[in-house]
Amino acid sequence: MFGKYLALGAAAAMISAVPVLAQKDDQSASKERDPNQVVCEKVEVLGSRVSTKRVCMTRSEWAERRRLERQEIDRAQVARGVSCDGCN
């Protein structure tokens, strides 16, 4: 008996999710992201807890900046795991 209600609830959830997914696809298709569009973001000033400055770059420049930051983080994490020859 419980399985019957579980299957019915799962079917209802799937039916209600279909229009939402279709709506998201329509929105993403209509909003192509132009890599040359200028986007401004607030960036925290290094050494300050409250100070921010506004930085404007194109979407492609932001993507490249994030890629380089991620690469630097990965490099630092790998370097931390490497042991040196003279260390105990």
Query: Is residue 87 one of the residues assigned to a domain?
Result: no
Quick one: pLDDT band at residue 87, thresholds 50, 70, 90? low
In a domain? residue 88: no
Res 38: pLDDT: 96
38 and 7 co-located in one domain: no
24 and 37: one domain?
A: no
- Please state, in angstroms and rounded to a whole number, the distance separating the CA atoms of residues 57 and 24: 27
Instruction: Report the predicted TM-score, pTM, of the whole model to 2 decimal places.
Output: 0.52
Task: Specify whether 37 is located in the same domain as 77.
Answer: yes
Q: How many domains does the chain have?
A: 2
User: Do 9 and 50 fall within a single domain?
Assistant: no
Q: Does residue 13 lie in a domain region? A: yes
> What is the pLDDT at residue 86?
58
Give residue-wise pLDDT tens across range 6-48: 454 544 444 444 445 445 555 554 467 899 999 999 999 888 8
- Supply the pLDDT for residue 53: 94
pLDDT at res. 25: 55
Q: List pLDDT tens digits, range 43-82.
A: 998 888 889 999 999 999 999 999 999 999 999 988 876 6
Are residues 24 and 52 located together in one domain of the fold? no
Q: Are 37 and 73 found together in one domain?
A: yes
The domain in which residue 25 lies consists of 1-32
Q: How far apart are CA 20 and CA 9, in angstroms?
A: 17
